[in-house]
Homo-oligomer: A and B are copies of this chain.
Amino acid sequence: MEKIITLTTDFGLTDEYVGVMKGVILARAPGAKIIDLTHGISYQDIRQAAYVIHSACGYFPAGTIHIIVVDPWVGSSRRIVLLSFKGQLFLAPDNGVLTLLLQQKELDAAYEVTCEELYLKPVSHTFHGRDIFSPVAAALINGMTPEDVGPSIDPNKLTVLTLPIVEVNQARGKIKGSVVRIDHFGNLMTNIHRDTCHELFSEDEKDSVLVVIKGQIIHGLQSSYSSVGTGSLLAIFSSRDYLEIALNLGNASEQLNANIGEEVTISFDKPILSLYKGTV
C-alpha cells in the first residue's frame, strides 16, 4: 500500500521549494503519496502551524508521515525531531510546532534526527526541508524504523509554545478564551472546546448562552451557519468542536475587525428553578 507524506510549510507556492522537496522524496521513495496540508502558513508562524497539524492529522491513516517545515531557526543548533503519536510520525524542527500534539497522552516516543548519512550533501544551512526532512521521510517510507533516525529523547522535553489559556469560572457561569485562528472564510476559531463548555451547560441548554466578542453579544449557539439571517453574527461549535464566531454568508473577521488574540467569553445563567433542584 502506498504510504502518505503530508507537507505543512510557510514556503508559499510561487517558488519551486515545495516542488523540490517532492522531487527529493520521489527520487528516493517513488511510491510515496505526497499531500499538501498547506504551504500558506504565515511567515514563520509556528503557532499557526501547530494548530494546522493538530487539526488535520487525525484524518489521515496510520503510517502517515507528517513533515512540518516552519523553521525560523533553520541552520542554527535547533534540533530536528521525529515524534511518534497514535501510529503516525511527525518530522519537525524542535521549535514548538508540535505543542498541541505534546499535550496529548498517547505519545509513543520521540527521536532526535541525526542520521546524517541520509542527508543531501552538502547540507545547506537554509533549506533543511530539501536536505534533511525530505530524504529522512523517504527513508521512513522505505521501511526505516523511527529508532534509526537517531537517539531516543523524552517527548516531554520537547520545546512547547505558551498558548493562550482558557479560564473557566464555574461559580459565575463564565468561560473566557480567545481567538486563536482565523480561516479563509473569516471565521473566528477560539480555543474554547465543546467539552469545556459542557462543564457549564449541556447541549440542550445551548440556546440560553451568551457569547461576547468585541462588545457584541451573540445569543445562543447555532447548529448551522444558515440558522441565522444573511449577514448575521452567530456562534457555533466548529467542525473541530471549538467555539467559532461566524457571519452567515459573510466574513466575521472583517465585520468585527477581530484578530487573533481577541477575547471571547461565553456565559450561562442557569434558570432559577435549577438552583433549587437539589432542595425541592
A: which residues have CB within 8 A of B?
Answer: 1-2, 4, 6, 8, 11-20, 22-24, 26-27, 30-31, 33, 35-41, 43-44, 52-53, 55-56, 59-61, 64, 72-76, 124-127, 130-131, 183-185, 223-227, 236, 238-239, 244, 249, 251
Contacts and interface: CB of A to CB of B under 8 A. Distances in A.
Given A124-B239, A184-B12, A236-B125, A33 B26 contact: yes
A16 B41 CA distance: 10
A23 B56 contact: yes
A13 B41 CA distance: 10
Given A14-B184, A75-B226, 9 more contacts: A13-B13, A16-B55, A17-B183, A19-B38, A43-B251, A74-B226, A76-B226, A125-B225, A125-B236
A23 B38 CA distance: 13
A18 B226 CA distance: 22
A130 B59 CA distance: 9
Across chains A and B, which 8 residue pairs bring their CB atoms closest together, nearest first? A75-B224, A14-B40, A127-B239, A12-B184, A23-B59, A19-B37, A124-B239, A23-B60
Contacts of A56: 16, 19-20, 23
A16 B225 CA distance: 20
A43 B75 contact: no
A192 B37 CA distance: 35
A43 to B, nearest CB: 7
A226 B125 CA distance: 10
A74 B187 CA distance: 14
Nearest to A120: B59
A61 B26 contact: yes
Contacts of A76: 224, 226-227
